[in-house]
């Protein structure tokens, strides 16, 4: 079976060398321009998504809101719209010009953020935040699909890892840019009379939002690649209605269901650590203030997260050169194997320094699989279904990560371990890593079968 798969892979590689479809050259300079542009878009999406976290107190004071109402603006307003619109946008990506979908999305969420600067009550600001969530729902499906057609199988994980830097860069820039705008709000009001009537938080939303519009306009001038199979430069002519797309995904449920579930348990660690490690450090009796903990842990997340995202593709390329067609899955398995003992260490360590070391290694390990997961889905999914498959993936992992993971840790802490948050975090993340490992191992055979099916499709389309 393995020999036949390698023979098929060899034939497809030969096909890639001889087929000329008039498509844009993969792995070209323009391809990297597109990848970097989409990375900036991803970064901007996180700036617009998180900037409100820096403005909680002034918004709460001016609009006379409670903490509960502020939490709706921070979480529910964005998350509900994001989860509802992601499948809709994913299908749109499969049936439309993708670079236009991405460009319009950037412009739409930028304008929606800016309109938040005109908000005078909870309802209008809630609508603004929901608009940001609805528009940002289009980016991941469009970006993954575009990058998959701009890069060959060998370069795809690396390109996706660059795109996945967006959350780490965006989270940092949200704090930096927001702080700068707030600091210069008075000067802006004096320099531009039209801005004089805006409160600093309103001016921040207005400036941050409008600054993203030029990026969206620039993206309109990117080139749309032809829809191809990842295996080679053959135009993928297969068409799918929504019902046939869902039927196809269900037919390959041996891979998709297990893989989505595996990554859902992985993101439990991804979201739980940043949600609770700062609190653990503040409650640990180390005499630290929130500023010290925030800066220290923020630097760790930025550095180790970036290293993790960029390291994964190198490991995957090394495995691929040694004939491991399941290299992307192997990287995810490797990360899960590493997370099990690291999360378990939280049950043992007590010092501030040891906790930071455990957190740093965990950040590296849970960041490494993210571009690999995106690549795995694109590799085994027909072109006209990639948006839908990516959208379903985003809904599953975001729903679990944003809505479930931090709360599960809190519940286990409150009702099982008598408010021992460190123990609860260690137990929940260790169990999640074990389950993720078990589920991911179950995807190896279905993944290999799906690769062979796509190789057969490539040869069949070429013969036609």
Query: Is residue 20 predicted with pLDDT exceeding 70?
Result: no
For residue 279, name the pLDDT band (cuts at 50, 70, 90): confident
**Shortest CA distance to 88 belongs to which of 42, 137, 24?**
137
27-225 matches 240-464 in fold: yes
* Domain 27-225 top-level CATH class: mainly alpha
DSSP state of 74: I
DSSP string, 250-264: HHTHHHHHHHHHHHH
Q: Do residues 375 and 328 touch, judged by C-beta distance below 8 A?
A: yes
The pTM assigned to this predicted structure is 0.81
Please give the C-alpha separations between residue 293 and each of 246, 280, 282, 429, 447, in angstroms, as whole numbers.
46, 10, 7, 21, 42
Query: Is residue 186 predicted with pLDDT exceeding 70?
Result: no
Q: Token pair for residue 380?
A: 């085994």
CA angle 35-41-43, nearest 5°?
Answer: 105
What average pLDDT does the segment 167-188 reach?
69
pLDDT digits (tens, 9 = 90+) for 378-426: 888 888 898 999 999 988 888 887 677 778 888 888 888 777 888 989 9
For residue 179, name the pLDDT band (cuts at 50, 70, 90): low
Please give the C-alpha separations between residue 30 and each of 149, 155, 237, in angstroms, as whole numbers.
12, 14, 24
Q: Do residues 147 and 387 touch, judged by C-beta distance below 8 A?
A: no
> What sections of 51-97 are H helices per DSSP?
56-63, 67-71, 77-95
What average pLDDT does the segment 61-90 reach?
85
Q: State how far Cα 137 lies from the chain centre.
A: 11
Query: Is residue 443 predicted with pLDDT exceeding 90?
Result: yes
List the domain boundaries for the chain.
27-225, 240-464
For residue 462, name the pLDDT band (cuts at 50, 70, 90): low
Q: Tokens 């989860």 belong to which residue? A: 83
What average pLDDT does the segment 124-146 reach?
94
Q: Token pair for residue 324?
A: 């491991």
Q: Token pair for residue 59?
A: 């918004």
Report the pLDDT value the prediction gives residue 4, as an integer from 0 to 100: 38
Report the pLDDT value the prediction gives residue 7, as an integer from 0 to 100: 44
Which one of 38-42, 225-229, 377-381 scores highest in mean pLDDT? 38-42
pLDDT above 90 coverage of the chain, percent: 36
CATH code for 240-464? 1.20.1250.20
What average pLDDT does the segment 251-256 reach?
92
Distance CA 22, CA 32 (A): 19
């Amino acid at each position: 079976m393995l020999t036949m798969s390698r023979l098929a892979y060899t034939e497809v590689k030969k096909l890639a060398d001889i087929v000329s479809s008039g498509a844009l050259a993969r792995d070209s300079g323009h391809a990297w321009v597109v990848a970097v542009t989409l990375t900036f878009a991803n970064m901007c999406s996180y700036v617009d998504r998180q900037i409100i976290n820096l403005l909680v107190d002034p918004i709460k004071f001016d609009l006379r809101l409670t903490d509960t109402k502020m939490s709706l603006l921070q979480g529910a307003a964005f998350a509900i719209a994001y989860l509802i619109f992601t499948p809709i946008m994913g299908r749109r990506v499969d049936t439309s010009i993708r670079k236009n979908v991405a460009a319009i999305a950037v412009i739409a969420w930028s304008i929606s953020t800016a309109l938040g600067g005109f908000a005078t009550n909870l309802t209008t600001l809630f609508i603004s935040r929901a608009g940001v969530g609805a528009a940002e729902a289009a980016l991941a499906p469009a970006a993954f699909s575009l990058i998959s057609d701009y890069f060959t199988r060998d370069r795809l994980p690396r390109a996706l890892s660059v795109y996945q830097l967006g959350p780490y860069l965006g989270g940092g820039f949200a704090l930096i840019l927001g702080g700068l705008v707030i600091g210069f709000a008075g000067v802006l009001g004096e320099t531009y009379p039209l801005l004089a009537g805006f409160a600093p938080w309103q001016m921040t939303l207005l400036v941050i939002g409008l600054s993203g519009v030029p990026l969206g306009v620039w993206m309109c001038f990117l080139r749309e690649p032809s829809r191809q199979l990842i295996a080679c430069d053959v135009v993928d002519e297969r068409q799918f209605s929504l019902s046939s797309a869902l039927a196809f995904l269900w037919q390959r449920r041996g891979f998709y269901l297990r893989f989505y579930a595996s990554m859902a348990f992985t993101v439990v660690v991804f979201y739980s650590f940043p949600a609770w490690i700062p609190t653990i450090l503040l409650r640990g009796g180390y005499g630290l203030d929130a500023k010290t903990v925030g800066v220290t842990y923020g630097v760790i997340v930025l550095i180790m997260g970036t290293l993790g995202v960029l390291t994964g593709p190198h490991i995957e390329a090394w495995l691929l050169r040694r004939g491991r067609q399941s290299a992307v899955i192997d990287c995810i398995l490797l990360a899960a194997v590493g997370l099990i003992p690291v999360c378990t260490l939280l049950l043992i360590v007590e010092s501030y320094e040891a906790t930071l070391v455990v957190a740093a290694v965990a950040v590296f390990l849970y960041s490494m699989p993210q571009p690999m997961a995106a690549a795995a889905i694109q590799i085994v999914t027909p072109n006209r279904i990639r948006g839908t498959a990516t959208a379903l993936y985003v809904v599953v992992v975001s729903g679990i990560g944003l809505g479930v993971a931090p709360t599960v840790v809190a519940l286990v802490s409150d009702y099982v371990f008598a408010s021992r948050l460190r123990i609860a975090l260690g137990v929940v993340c260790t169990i999640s890593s074990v389950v993720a490992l078990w589920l991911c191992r179950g995807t190896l055979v279905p993944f290999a079968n799906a690769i062979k099916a796509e190789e057969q499709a490539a040869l069949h389309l070429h013969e036609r």
